[in-house]
Amino acid sequence: MFIAKYIFPVLLFLCASNSYAEITKEKVERFYKSIVSVRSIVPPEARTAASLGVEREGNGVAIDENHILTIGYIVIESESIEIGLSDGRRLPAKLVGYDHTSGFGIIKSVVPLKMPPLQLGNSDNINSEQDLLILPSPNRGAGSIVRSVSRRPFTGWWEYFVESPIYTTPPNGLWAGAPILNGNGEILGIGSLFVSESVPGISSPGNMSVPINLLKPILGDLISSGRRKSKIQPYIGISSDDSNDQVIVTRVSKGGPAFQAGIKPQDIIVTINGSQISNLKSFYEKVWKSGEAGVTIELSVLRSGSLMNFKVKTVDRLDYFFKPQSF
């Protein structure tokens, strides 16, 4: 009965789609049993508290009997995590692994629990304009049918870049950590953001999801070591904007590499290791091609009309975070 109130609206959407003629109430109910709500509490002194808040909520999906996949910003730096099961139970959980490069987080119940998992699909096989399901936890609200409308790079101001995320419309307001599924219940992506243009250049509100194929090469590392063990991107510790065809520093993370080097808000980044940049994508590419975390990079910036040079010793972003009790 707990799930039933959310199955009916999903089925109404599905009935309008020939692609999902084979979906039954029983299948949707089975999918929902693998999905949980996620709530975390983060200490006020945590690095991400100011930008992401100290109370965070979202969703997760079981990928094996013990481990739950979510979007990492819900749980990173958490001191406590609670999951809500489809039968109404709420259980304490802990952070198992986090990967900033993709944005994924892995958690598990503290109480021994065997969940029915959903299989990982192939996110490279999503067809243009394919209908998909986005299913938040029934604790939080109803799922919906969405349309895959584009695959294009996403560049985030927080030193984040995804080459081919999944853009869907219409938006589901409970996207955070919600799985994107095909008609067989295979996980194709995890909800990350609301976007105003799911189709580029057109007002088309929707969601951006991180493709599941980014998880497959690092899943073993996240479960066994808590982090990826190779291709660790160097972290500078700035937020920036390129809306005026210049990379302008908007915020410098206190205590981070850029902060220690002397970079300040409103600095305009002109070159990375001598190479000119004009947008965030080229900025990130040049930083990450410099080497793995720990490499020193050279930045030239314009500050109040004067050109200044800085050397920034990068770090692994995960090492920069506050060390939480639940990790």
pLDDT tens, position by position, 185-223: 999 999 999 999 999 999 999 999 999 999 999 999 999
Q: Whole domain around residue 89: which residue ranges?
A: 1-231
User: Residue 167: which H helix or E strand, with range?
Assistant: strand 166-169
**Co-location of 138 and 190 in the same domain:** yes
Same domain, 131 and 240: no
Is 327 exposed, middle or buried, given 0-12, 13-18 or 19+ CB atoms closer than 10 A?
Answer: buried
Domain boundary, last residue among 231, 253, 283: 231
What Rg, from alpha-carbon coordinates, does the chain have?
Answer: 21
- The answer as to whether 325 is a domain residue is no
327: in domain: no
Confidence of residue 323 (pLDDT cuts 50, 70, 90): low
- Same domain, yes or no, for 184 and 243? no
User: Is pLDDT at 266 greater than 80 in this prediction?
Assistant: yes
Same-domain status, 24 and 78 = yes
Q: How far is CA 245 from CA 81, 134, 282, 285, in A?
A: 41, 35, 12, 16
Task: Output the pTM of the full model.
Answer: 0.92
> What pLDDT digit, counting tens, does each position of 282-313 carry?
999 999 999 999 999 999 999 999 999 999 99
- CA 327/CA 90 separation, integer angstroms: 19
Question: How confident is the model over 110-142, as pLDDT tens digits?
Answer: 999 999 999 999 999 998 777 899 999 999 999
Residue ending a domain, among 209, 231, 253, is 231
Q: Kindly report the backbone phi and psi dihedral angles of residue 78, in degrees, each rounded to the nearest multiple of 5, phi listed first.
A: -70, 145
- In terms of domains, do 6 and 136 share one? yes
